[in-house]
Amino acid sequence: MILTDEEQAVLDGEKGAGFQKAMELVVALGKVYGAESLVDIASAHLSGASYKTIGDGGLKYLSDLAAGGAKVSVPSTLNPVGMDRGRWKEMHISPEFAEKQLEIIDLYGKMGIRKTCSCTPYLGDNVPKKGQHIAWAESSALSVANSYFGARTNREGGPGALAAAIIGKTANYGLHLDANRRPTKVIDVSDFGGSVFDYSLLGQAVGMEMGRGVPYFRGLRGIAIEDAKTLSAAMAAAGSVALWHAEGCTPEAKDGLDISGLEHISIGKEEMKAAYDKLNTADDVQLIALGCPHLSPKEMHDIASMLKGKKKRNRDTEIWFCTSESVREQCAEDVKVMEEFGPVLADTCMVVAPIEGTFRRTATNSAKAGNYLPTLCSQKVMFADIPDLLKVIE
Ligand code: F3S
């Protein structure tokens, strides 16, 4: 890999230990993946923010970086953390966990990272632009950034994204290069309802079918940001898709992409039913958790409209609504209605919170949560659309 004099100086430690450590990691990743150079990035989004996922080892790593003077060089946002900072007691979180979690947030803050903790940073103050090179972790968000916004990022891990944020550069390989952004399979979609839940099922079906690669969808009409985030999350969890195109909808597809000679996969009712059956494994639940990825203002409004005028009758089942702090603030009227049923939690989610200490059966409308709740949180899962889940508590 060819480094500029300035990059070499950082690698030699001239900017301090924190920057040196970060440069070493970015260069090492670049060598592994055959990058010839580094490329400037416009923003970063970091995962590895929950104490549940990074533990004491991660906390120590962050402390060392911060102590070494590391600071981010580009606008950088953070993924959800293990609790709502102000309402962790309502989430059955222990004081010990809360203390460590607050310490982690503080360390990220010391390094200049914005303390908004959401997996939908593009709904807030980190909106990627077409053609921009960025370094994002968080599998759903980076896929939205690549596909819906046309920005360029690999599927970064937490430490890789943080290192890139510190030096303001990432290794130029993978989805940063035109050649790797071309579609690899055509997905012909039929019998598609077009609800957000349908996008969850579609993403699950395609992720199961393809595993990895770059799907090119045909048969989808306009895609809203809610559809894009749901589809991206599902394909990233059921497979490892980090970029997709949709004919007539996404920016690079609109520019024109060559799909001649590619294998076609048909996704219809049968494949969507198989996707549903894979995720739905529980008949009754203790917790209904909505907001994976974090609820948008429109989704908050839709849920509040469904709940307005109703009463919570089922006292045995909790319901959590997960969103970002900024969306919660924007939707004050909707929040009032939703809070009659359960807490509207900011900057956390059902997967990165330690829910396994309290619950064993959780319901979700998200294929991503449906994949991760059993493996990361020891849950049985009820997988259903929001109106059906709300009926459980009414
Ligand atoms: Fe976001 Fe948590 Fe889902 S980070 S995408 S709500 S698993």
Q: How far apart are CA 129 and CA 146, in angstroms?
A: 9
Backbone angles phi, psi at 266, to 5 degrees: -100, 130
Give the H/E segment covering residue 105: helix 95-110
Q: How far apart are CA 326 and CA 136, in angstroms?
A: 20
The DSSP letter of residue 296 is P
CB 205 within 8 A of CB 275: yes
Nearest to 155 by CA among 104, 105, 214, 204: 214
Please give the pLDDT value at position 394: 85
Q: Output the residue whose Cα is nearest ligand 1's atom 7.
A: 351
Backbone angles phi, psi at 322, to 5 degrees: -110, 130
Nearest to 164 by CA among 316, 300, 45: 45
Please give the pLDDT value at position 84: 98
Asked if residue 80 has its Cβ within 6 Å of ligand 1, the reply is yes
CB 16 within 8 A of CB 69: yes
Measured from the Cα of 351, ligand 1's closest atom is 7
- pTM over 0.95? The answer is yes
Relative to beta strand 169-171, strand 38-40 is antiparallel
- Residues in the chain with pLDDT < 50? none
Asked if residue 246 has its Cβ within 6 Å of ligand 1, the reply is no
Measured from the Cα of 139, ligand 1's closest atom is 5
Measured from the Cα of 369, ligand 1's closest atom is 7
Give the tokens for residue 281. 């494994």
Domain 5-178 matches domain 280-390 at the CATH topology level: yes
Please give the pLDDT value at position 69: 85
C-alpha dihedral over 114, 117, 122, 124, to 10 degrees? -70
DSSP, residue by residue, 73-102: SS-EEE--BSS-TTTGGGGT--HHHHHHHH
Q: Output the residue whose Cα is nearest ligand 1's atom 5.
A: 293
Backbone angles phi, psi at 86, to 5 degrees: -100, -15
Sequence ranges of the domains in the chain: 5-178, 182-278, 280-390
Distances (CA, A) of 252 to 6, 179, 228, 246, 248: 33, 13, 15, 9, 9
- CATH fold for domain 5-178: Aconitase; domain 3 (3.30.499)
Give the tokens for residue 120. 């939908």
Residue 12 CA, chain-centre distance (Å), reads 34
Buried b (16+ CB within 10 A) or exposed e, 49-82: bbbbbbeeebbebbeebbebebbbbbbbbbbbbb
Determine the straight-line distance between the first and last CA of the chain, rounded to whole angstroms: 60
- CATH fold for domain 280-390: Aconitase; domain 3 (3.30.499)
DSSP, residue by residue, 293-321: SPPPHHHHHHHHHHHTT------SSEEEE
* Three-state DSSP state, 225: helix
Q: Output the residue whose Cα is nearest ligand 1's atom 2.
A: 349
Q: How far apart are CA 161 and CA 158, in angstroms?
A: 5
How remote is the CA of residue 1 from the centroid of ligand 1, in Å?
Answer: 35
Q: How far apart are CA 231 and CA 203, in angstroms?
A: 5
Q: pLDDT per residue over 303-342, tens digit each?
A: 999 999 999 888 899 999 999 999 999 999 999 999 999 9
Q: Output the residue whose Cα is nearest ligand 1's atom 6.
A: 292
The CB density around residue 305, as the number of other CB atoms within 10 Å, is 11
Q: Output the residue whose Cα is nearest ligand 1's atom 1.
A: 293
Q: How far apart are CA 386 and CA 143, in angstroms?
A: 24
Give the H/E segment covering residue 22: helix 17-32
Relative to beta strand 169-171, strand 185-189 is unpaired
Distances (CA, A) of 220 to 131, 233, 256: 23, 17, 16
CB 242 within 8 A of CB 142: yes
Helix axis angle, 225-238 to 196-210, nearest 10°: 30
Asked if residue 210 has its Cβ within 6 Å of ligand 1, the reply is no
